[in-house]
Structure 1
C-alpha cells in the first residue's frame, strides 16, 4: 500500500506504508504502463515501441487511490494505475552498493560439506510440489540429483522433459559415457577428469547437462561437483587483480576431435554482466586453445591468476562427491558448476548417458509453477 505521492513533471515520488520512499521517472512509468493499450492483457507483452512514446512525456497529476498510484501523462492525457506491490517489486531507486563479481539474489554458493540436493524420480513426475522443489534446488545450488529412476537407456530424456527440451549437438541428442577404444573424447575413457565445464568451445555453451547412470559396478568413478561461483568468489577475495584479468580478457577454446567438426569460442573464463554480476564460468583444460587476446605485459599475471583459479578448483575441500547408482542421475548448471570424475578400473562396468538442455526452460518452468502456487494461495 502507498501512503502518498508527489510529483514534478519528470519524477513521481511515492511513500510506501512500510516506510521507505521511491522515485520513478515519467518516461519509465509511461514505458511500463500496465493498461491494455500498452501491454497485451493475455501475455503482458508490450504493444508500443519507444518511438510511440512522446519525447516530451511528463506527469501532470499523481495521486494515491485505494493504496495504488494513479498517474496522468501529457501530452497524451493518458491516465494509468500502478499497483503498489508492482511498484515495490520494480523499484530501482536505491544506492548502488553492488559488489564487483557478486552473485545474483537466490544463488547459494557452496563447497565440501553440502549434502547433495536430491529428489525422488517418482515424486517429481507425480507431485508438482516435489518437481518445483527439485527445480528450485537446481536454480539455487546449480545442481541436483534424481534417485530411484528407471534403468532403461534414454531415461535421461525423460529428465529433460520435466522442464524443457534436449539441446542436440554434434554428439547427437545424447551421448554415451563409457570406455571406448580410440575415443574421440577423453570423457569416454576410464581416466579421471579434472573438474571442468562442458563444451566451452561452443557459443553459447549448453547451459544444462544431465548425466544418467545405467550401470556402475566398476571400482571408482565417483562423480564430483565444484561450485565455480564459489571458486570465483575465493579468487576475487584472494587476488582481486587476478580476478579482474580472468574476467576482463577472453580465453580461447577449441574442439576438433571428429571429422567435419571444428568448434571455437572466444569468451572469458569468468564472465560478468556489464554491472559486475557473476554470470558464468568456463574452465576446461582439455579444450583450452592458445590465449592470444591478453596484452603481452599482462600475460604472465594472467597465467598466475589462471593457475590460482585452478588450484582453488582442485582443492579437495571445494568438491561434493557421490557415486551414482543405476537409476540415479544429476543435472548441473553448466555455466556455473564444474563436474569431475575419479578414475575407474576396467573391472566391472560403468555406463552413463549424458545430454544437454537449456537453463531458460528450467527457469521458465520453475517461475510458472511458483506463480501458479502464489495465485492459488490468493
Structure 2
C-alpha cells in the first residue's frame, strides 16, 4: 500500500506503508504503464515503441487511490494506475551492489563436501514439487544428479524434456561418450580430462549439458564437478590484479576437429556483466587458441593469473566427485560449473550419452512453477 505521492513535471515520489520512499521518472512510468493500450492483455508485451511516447512527456497529477498510484501524463492526457506491490517490486531509486565479481542473488557457490543435489527420476517426472526442487537445485548450485532412470539409449532426451529443448550442434542432437578409434574429440577416449566447460569455442556456448550413463563397469571414470564461480571468487580474493586481467581481456577458443567445422570465439575466461556481476566462465585447455588480445606488457601477468585459476580449479578440495551408475545422469550449468573425468581402464565398458540444452528454458519452467507454487506442491 502507498501512503502518499508527490510530484513535479518529471518525477513522482511515493511513500510506501513501510515508511520507505522511492522516486520514479515520468518517462519510466509512461513506458511501463500497465493499461491495455500500452501492454497486451494476456502476455504483457509492450504495444508501443519509445518513439510513441512524447519527448516532452510530463506528469500533471499523481494521486494515491485505494493504496495504488494513479498518474496522468501530458500532453496525452492519459491516466494510468500502478499497483503499490508492482511499484515496490520495480524500485530503481536505491543503492545497488557494485562489487566487481559479485555473485547474483539466488546462487550458492560451493566446494567439496556439499554433497551432490539430486532428484529421483520417477518422482521428478510424476510430482511437480519434486521437479521444482530439482530445477531449483540446478539454478542455485549449477548442477544436480538424477537417479533411478531407464537404461535405454536416448533416455537423456527425456531429461531435457522436463524443462525445454535439446540444442543441436555439429555433434548432433546428442553424442556418445565412449572410447573410439581415431576420435574427433578427446572426450571419446579413456584419458582423464581436466575440469572444463564445454564448447567455449561457440558464441553463445550451450548453457546446459546433460550426461547420462548407460553402462559403467570400467575401473575409474569418476565424474567430478567444480564450481567455476567459487574458483573465480578465490582468484578475485587472492589476486585482484590477475582477476582483472582475466575479466578485462578476451581469450580465444577454437575447434576444427571434423570436416566442415571451424568454430571460434573471443570471450573472457571470466565474464562479468557491465555492472560487475559474475555471469560466466570459459575454461578449456583443449580448446584454447593463442591469446592475441592481451597487450605485450600484460601477457606474462595474464598467464600467471591463468595458471593460478587452473591451480584453484585443479585443487582436490574444490571438486565434488561421483561415479554414475547405469540410469543415472547429471546436468551442469555450462556457463558456471566445470566437469572433469578421471581416466578409466580398457577393461569393462563405459558408455555415456550427452546433449546440450538452454538454461533459459530451465529458468522459465522453474519461474512458472514457482508462480504456481500451490499447484506445484500437490
CA offset at residue 376 of structure 1? 8.9
Aligned residue in 2 for 1:209: 209
State whether residues 369 and 376 of structure 2, in contact with CA within 8 Å, keep that contact through their aligned partners in structure 1: no
- Counterparts of 1:266-305 in structure 2, within 5 Å, are 266-305=266-305
Provide the TM-score with structure 1 as the length reference: 0.98
- Counterparts of 1:156-175 in structure 2, within 5 Å, are 156-175=156-175
Unaligned regions of 5+ residues in structure 1, if any? none
Taking the aligned partners of 2:164 and 2:209, their CA distance within structure 1 comes to 12
CA offset at residue 104 of structure 1? 1.0
Taking the aligned partners of 2:376 and 2:265, their CA distance within structure 1 comes to 45
Taking the aligned partners of 1:2 and 1:314, their CA distance within structure 2 comes to 53
Aligned residue in 1 for 2:96: 96
Taking the aligned partners of 1:342 and 1:74, their CA distance within structure 2 comes to 67
Count how many residue pairs are aligned between Structure 1 and Structure 2.
Answer: 377
CA offset at residue 374 of structure 1? 6.3
CA shift in 2, pair 1:6/1:376, >3 Å: farther
Aligned residue in 1 for 2:324: 324
Taking the aligned partners of 2:305 and 2:95, their CA distance within structure 1 comes to 32
Aligned residue in 1 for 2:136: 136
CA offset at residue 57 of structure 1? 0.7
Aligned residue in 2 for 1:346: 346
Taking the aligned partners of 1:256 and 1:190, their CA distance within structure 2 comes to 21
Taking the aligned partners of 1:230 and 1:92, their CA distance within structure 2 comes to 29
CA shift in 2, pair 1:172/1:97, >3 Å: closer
Taking the aligned partners of 1:79 and 1:376, their CA distance within structure 2 comes to 38
State whether residues 208 and 334 of structure 2, in contact with CA within 8 Å, keep that contact through their aligned partners in structure 1: yes
Aligned residue in 2 for 1:255: 255
> What secondary structure, in the 3-state scheme, does the structure 2 residue paired with 1:290 have?
coil
Taking the aligned partners of 1:63 and 1:136, their CA distance within structure 2 comes to 40
Per-residue CA deviation, residues 98-130 of structure 1 (Å, 9 max, x unaligned), is 211111111111111111110000111111111
> What secondary structure, in the 3-state scheme, does the structure 2 residue paired with 1:310 have?
helix
Taking the aligned partners of 2:266 and 2:230, their CA distance within structure 1 comes to 23
Taking the aligned partners of 2:236 and 2:124, their CA distance within structure 1 comes to 37
Taking the aligned partners of 1:181 and 1:233, their CA distance within structure 2 comes to 40
Provide the TM-score with structure 2 as the length reference: 0.98
> What secondary structure, in the 3-state scheme, does the structure 2 residue paired with 1:96 have?
coil
CA shift in 2, pair 1:133/1:303, >3 Å: same
CA offset at residue 373 of structure 1? 2.2
Taking the aligned partners of 1:70 and 1:233, their CA distance within structure 2 comes to 45
CA shift in 2, pair 1:192/1:376, >3 Å: closer
Taking the aligned partners of 2:154 and 2:334, their CA distance within structure 1 comes to 20
- Counterparts of 1:1-378 in structure 2, within 5 Å, are 1-373=1-373
Unaligned regions of 5+ residues in structure 2, if any? none
Taking the aligned partners of 1:9 and 1:139, their CA distance within structure 2 comes to 43
> What secondary structure, in the 3-state scheme, does the structure 2 residue paired with 1:313 have?
helix
Taking the aligned partners of 2:337 and 2:207, their CA distance within structure 1 comes to 10
> What secondary structure, in the 3-state scheme, does the structure 1 residue paired with 2:279 have?
strand
CA offset at residue 96 of structure 1? 3.4
Taking the aligned partners of 1:250 and 1:365, their CA distance within structure 2 comes to 33
Per-residue CA deviation, residues 320-353 of structure 1 (Å, 9 max, x unaligned), is 1111110000000000000001111111111000
> What secondary structure, in the 3-state scheme, does the structure 2 residue paired with 1:137 have?
helix
State whether residues 370 and 376 of structure 2, in contact with CA within 8 Å, keep that contact through their aligned partners in structure 1: no
